[in-house]
Structure 1
């Protein structure tokens, strides 16, 4: 080995500012491909679409949650109302001395009605019927105040977001 090979090499100090900037740019860009803007643009598009879909899913989740809460509240209200009605019917049945020993056709029709009413099971209330009523009321409440122009603007904003983010070209 020669003396020159053993001797440590010193880096030469660059005095020219333009040369320093060019070296820094070369160091940064040596890891990039020519397709880097397309790749970055694709990632930006995916992120924007993910955010948009996440917002839509969150809004749908909140709407469904409010529907189920409203259905549960209405169901419990109906159950309580029917239980109260059955209690009143039972009270009328007992107060008027109804039963198999009752004689007379006039009171028998009332007693039969009170007997059917007091034996009604509150849990037979259908949740599907209540859900359909709630859904219909909510949809009517949402659509009635909106004009055609407002609905068109909402649709354009929703679809426009995805169309514009799809057209972003880097």
Structure 2
């Protein structure tokens, strides 16, 4: 009886101290992010700070499942966003089922179009959430420049 009581006590202590500290990737990146910089060419490093032409841009990521999030990219308005579709989309972009993948310790990838296993590339519409979970890059190719990828750097809002 004494051994059973000892085992039960050790089990309870072990269970209480062994909490699962790893949060699912989809939960760890959930939140609201604000656009900070627009990069005209992902390789040039010529960043333009937001707001641009009075436009702000918000990125909202919501948990759906362990490997899926919903993503919404919302411009503050479409009135003065010239050239439209470059610095800011002309309308809210919604991706109700975006797949995520965390193949490295440096970033979590959100595939807005396509599924995990697609090539990791700045020419695909993707979001890269960096290790700190506080900054993200949205990679896209505007219609005006179909061969040149652009990026927008977002920073997570503190709540």
Confirm or deny a common fold (TM above 0.5). no
Relative contact order (C-alpha < 8 Å, sep 6+): which is higher? 1
The TM-score normalised by the length of structure 1 is 0.28
The TM-score normalised by the length of structure 2 is 0.29
Instruction: Choose between structure 1 and 2: higher helix proportion.
Output: 1
Could you say which structure has the larger radius of gyration?
1
Instruction: Choose between structure 1 and 2: higher strand proportion.
Output: 2
